A and B are shown apart, each in its own frame.
Chain A
Amino acid sequence: MRSATDAPPPAGPGDGTGGPGGAGGAGGPEGDGQPAVASRGATNARWVWRQAWPVLLTLGVVLVIWAIISATGAVSTSSLPSPATVWSTFWRLVRDGTIPTATAKTVLRLVVAFGIALVVGTLLGIGLSASSLARRSIGSLVVALRAVPPIAWLPLAAVWFGLNEKAVVFVAIVGGFPSVTLATSNSLRQVPPLLHRAGQTLGAHGWTLYRSIVFPAAVPGYVGGIQLAWGYCWWSLLAGELVTHAARAVGLGQELVRSQRQDQAAEVIAILLVIIAIGMVVDLVIFGLIDRRLRVRRGLTLR
């Protein structure tokens, strides 16, 4: 019937790069096309590649410049080893188990610390969003925590736990959880009142309202905040490892200091590259995929 004139705006493929799904916009003469269900043909793998190639290209350019500098001899090879030297050093450290062991240790600490920061921070954030008294009291404490550079907690942590793994993880938790708390509280409080009211008139109250409407509505803001929080957690963890290099449980930070003590610039750079790689995987791949999924599903992408 007449509702045909009320068809949705012409649908393009969800990825916006003019992929093969262009038929959506060319429906009937009255725009009577299929709903603009984003063509899921753009698989995650393809998406990762589209995100990855500019990154790889940039890294390639940096690599070339680096190779040229070290080849001209402008900087001594003991300060800036050639890419080839770093590459062979990297493989040596991989084969002798140094990098795998250290990476596993550090990543495990990250998972534990960020996991605890997520749980504590999220619960605290939910509490803060629910009560203005809690925001003014406990909330101000959380803000106070954020004023202290996380690594400045290490001396205290060392007194409590000794200069060991526990202290490092403690510093990483303290580095991450205040940001998680604020991200949770802010994202929950930014849920449009309209959705609250809509939920209430549909019969959702109390916990049901939160679980089925407020939490899902807050997810995009929450994920954005969590992405920053993981970064703080990661920096705090590495800073902690650098300072607790005497500890026996060896992570990437401790390996950095050891290489520096032995004046092994190639090893230092190789380990730095591992740290960079971990950061890029978490930010670009893990958070990138979550972010993309949210945007596609909720229509937050710009065409």
Chain B
Amino acid sequence: MEFKSVVGWRRSIRWFDPWREPEREKIQSILEAVYRAPRVLEVDFLHLGVVYRDRLSHEEMQTLKTPTTTAQLDMAPVYIFFFADVQALEEACRGQNFRELMRVGVLNRSHGWSEEFVTNTAAAYLESVRDAEARVPLRLPAPGGEGSPMLVSRETLRLARTAIGIAQAYALLAAVEEGLGAQLSGVSVAAARGILGFPPTWVPSSPMLLGYRAESREAGGQRPREPFEEDFFELRYGHPFYREPAVVEQLKAAGMIQEPALFPWRMEEIRGLARKFGLPD
């Protein structure tokens, strides 16, 4: 699909055909897209976990649910979890990724890169992030509850969460490209830790629920947004970036900007889907 069309068709899908598991090839394609995502400061933060709903027990499923993630967890056949390993920053401070990029001609002398720069400047920059004063505990203590939660700098978390967000963007769009529906939705972190067994240095984020859509592709229409000029500025804060109508029209023609919600038949669709799955109407 054309990129702009992929962006336009992305929705937070909450209705899946629970009996239809996405093909493994499609799941791998999503992972491969994330694999090509840019790294934040060349740190290998990311880990993703693919979980198949039908391999979880009923009890495990129930523990994952939160006030905002309910029926869609029962419907989506696959969940993809995103993590950033804060320990990766420690590893990155040794500078090996920078050296590798120098070796393959990505980072060059033209931009000041050298062994001295890696050791004295680039790695030192990463160390300053790692060692920044403001620190917070990672949300969960070590397994078994022993000891205090690990403290990490807010600056480390800033980079880690950015890395997760980049991965989530790539995954969501790849899901659309593969003809699947997807939604990021929060689950119980403690329950996820028990099920997936991820280390205490991994920062979790909302998993992506994945499956074949039960609702229409339009899913009621593109979701509303605040005015463009509230989000984007030019030259300085407070000077809105002028939104040229001709560009908007061009993006409508390209399928990136689509008909906004609420479609006239959306509520009828919801009622029909509720009946299909025996959910409250």
Do these two chains interact? no
Residues on B facing A (Cβ under 8 Å): none
